[in-house]
Amino acid sequence: MRALQLPDWKSDPKLVEVDQPEPGPGEVVVKIGGSGACHSDLHLMHDFEGEELPWSPPFTLGHENAGWVDTVGDGVSAVEVGQAVAVYGPWGCGRCPRCRVGVENYCENPEAAPIPGGGGGLGLDGGMAEFMLVPHERLLVPLPDGLEPAVAAPLSDAGLTPYHAIRRSLPRLLPNTHTVAIGLGGLGHVGVQMLSAMSATTIIAVDLKEEALAGAEADGAHVTILSDDGAAEEIMTATGGKGADLVLDFVGADPTIGLAMSVVRPMGEVTVVGIGGGTFEWAFMGVPYESSLANTYWGTRPELIEVLNLGARGLIRPRTTTFSLDDAVGAYEQLDAGDLDGRAVIVP
Ligand code: NAD
Ligand code: ZN
Ligand code: ZN
């Protein structure tokens, strides 16, 4: 079968011919119906040298996947051949206390996972191929009625990651609060839809691109602000001078973390989701009292079930452009150039 692989660090992806996977005991092969192209894959292609991560290329890209169960190994009973499923992406050991409650994104024993700190498309073969091997049935979530794999695929990362970041702060998103979302691409535009669907907070959306701001307005943002030198002041004005209760940074570069920390209010939260390599120098007198700064990684298995529910009910609708496997390289080029609206989904 054909697969889009990352051949090495600091290299471009390549369409190659590989063997079709066969499930061993307890494993499942999924026929891919959609595989999203995440900006993290661009970091893998361009930013990493090899020492930062406990795994290495070559492997098939694509870590946000959905499709249909194709073949199952001995002992698999939780899914049936032909069933539509989303693949839960952060593969943990499955046995530690956190994995047992579905928090595999923060597995306590990554050495016992299929690959430490990775998963399909992150060290092991992912979904930018006709078929993908999933090492355990617990990592598959049946799709609710009405949700097609090509629509569900981006929900497993571009949906799940902002959902996890928002859900941890949800109790504070009451009326008379302000939430800033910076970076309105694949993750951020779904994040705005989720804030709109799940909370009464006033949503302030920030991006470098006018088109992304127009999209965010359609997604439920109440205020949109261009990410330039005047952005902090505009955000402060939009919050009535109080500052933001929550800032979600879907970029994670120096300027965006700096912007986030300059507009968060006392007792507010900044959650950095983007992996843009930014740093921030914390000082007692340099940040608002009781403000907190956290990073989040992906989401939990139960949260993926909740995200799929939001998708099936039409409460979130990721904007996607579909590409064939032949055009997958071009999809990443468009993502890199900032030419995409929402998410690119590869449909083999
Ligand atoms: P994307 O390319 O689809 O979107 C990025 C958006 O940010 C674009 O709209 C771009 O215009 C905007 N942007 C860039 N610089 C900006 C700035 N200075 N100010 C305001 N807006 C700016 O990317 P994506 O797939 O949504 O991923 C976003 C980031 O999240 C990436 O760094 C990715 O690696 C990371 N990510 C993290 C996790 C996690 O678990 N923490 C999961 C998935 C992706
Ligand atoms: Zn991703
Ligand atoms: Zn674990």
Reported as type and span, the H/E element at residue 322 is strand 320-323
For residue 338 and ligand 1, the question of a CB distance below 6 A is answered with: yes
Cα torsion angle, 117, 55, 36, 68, sign: negative
For residue 265 and ligand 1, the question of a CB distance below 6 A is answered with: no
Contacts of 310 (CB under 8 A, 6+ apart): 159, 163, 194, 197, 316
Token digits of residue 116: 């430490």
What is the CA(278)–ligand 1 centre distance, in A?
A: 12
Identify the pLDDT of residue 49: 86
Please, which pLDDT band fits residue 51 given cuts at 50, 70 and 90?
A: confident
Let me know whether 77 and 203 are in one domain. Answer: no
Let me know whether 151 and 23 are in one domain. Answer: yes
Reported as type and span, the H/E element at residue 292 is strand 292-295
Indicate the top mutation candidate among 35, 38, 41, 304 to test ligand 1's pocket, ranked by most ligand atoms within 8 A of CB.
38
In a domain, 79, yes or no: yes
For residue 161 and ligand 1, the question of a CB distance below 6 A is answered with: yes
Identify the pLDDT of residue 259: 98
In a domain, 109, yes or no: yes
The count of structural domains within the chain is 2
In a domain, 163, yes or no: no
Let me know whether 214 and 308 are in one domain. Answer: no
What is the CA(139)–ligand 1 centre distance, in A?
A: 25
- Compute the average pLDDT of residues 230-241: 98
For residue 278 and ligand 1, the question of a CB distance below 6 A is answered with: no
- Compute the average pLDDT of residues 288-297: 98
What is the CA(64)–ligand 2 centre distance, in A?
A: 7
Let me know whether 40 and 131 are in one domain. Answer: yes
Let me know whether 153 and 283 are in one domain. Answer: no
- Ligand 1: residue whose CA is nearest its atom 44: 40
In a domain, 162, yes or no: no
pLDDT in tens, 203-233: 999 999 999 999 999 999 999 999 999 999 9
- Compute the average pLDDT of residues 273-284: 97
Phi and psi at 122, nearest 5°, equal: -135, 75
pLDDT in tens, 80-133: 999 999 999 999 999 999 999 999 999 999 999 999 999 999 999 999 999 999
For residue 44 and ligand 1, the question of a CB distance below 6 A is answered with: no
Going by their DSSP bridges, the two strands 223-226 and 244-249 should be labelled as unpaired
Token digits of residue 23: 């499930």
Which atom of ligand 1 is the closest one to the Cα of 295?
41
Identify the pLDDT of residue 266: 98
In a domain, 317, yes or no: yes
What is the CA(182)–ligand 1 centre distance, in A?
A: 9
Which atom of ligand 1 is the closest one to the Cα of 335?
2
List the Cα angle 79/30/162 in 5-degree steps.
Answer: 90
- Compute the average pLDDT of residues 11-39: 98
Let me know whether 303 and 277 are in one domain. Answer: no
In the beta sheet, which residues pair with residue 86? 66, 141
C-alpha distances in Å from residue 292, one per residue of 192, 236, 245, 257, 284: 21, 18, 11, 12, 12
List the Cα angle 219/63/191 in 5-degree steps.
Answer: 20
Let me know whether 256 and 226 are in one domain. Answer: yes
| Residue in the structure block whose two tokens are 């929900």 | 155
| Residue in the structure block whose two tokens are 């063997």 | 19
For residue 105 and ligand 1, the question of a CB distance below 6 A is answered with: no
Residue 50 pLDDT exceeds 90: no
Let me know whether 152 and 193 are in one domain. Answer: no
What is the CA(124)–ligand 2 centre distance, in A?
A: 14
CATH number of the domain where residue 130 is located: 3.90.180.10
For residue 335 and ligand 1, the question of a CB distance below 6 A is answered with: yes
Let me know whether 146 and 59 are in one domain. Answer: yes
In a domain, 141, yes or no: yes
What is d(CA 216, CA 232) in angstroms, rounded to the nearest whole number?
A: 18
Reported as type and span, the H/E element at residue 245 is strand 244-249
Ligand nearest to the CA of 96: 3
For residue 255 and ligand 1, the question of a CB distance below 6 A is answered with: yes
Residue 138 pLDDT exceeds 90: yes
Q: pTM for the full model?
A: 0.98
For residue 252 and ligand 1, the question of a CB distance below 6 A is answered with: yes
206, 231 in Cβ contact below 8 A? yes
Give the domain extent around 145.
Answer: 2-157+299-346
Token digits of residue 161: 């990651």
What is the CA(119)–ligand 3 centre distance, in A?
A: 13
For residue 206 and ligand 1, the question of a CB distance below 6 A is answered with: yes
137, 76 in Cβ contact below 8 A? yes
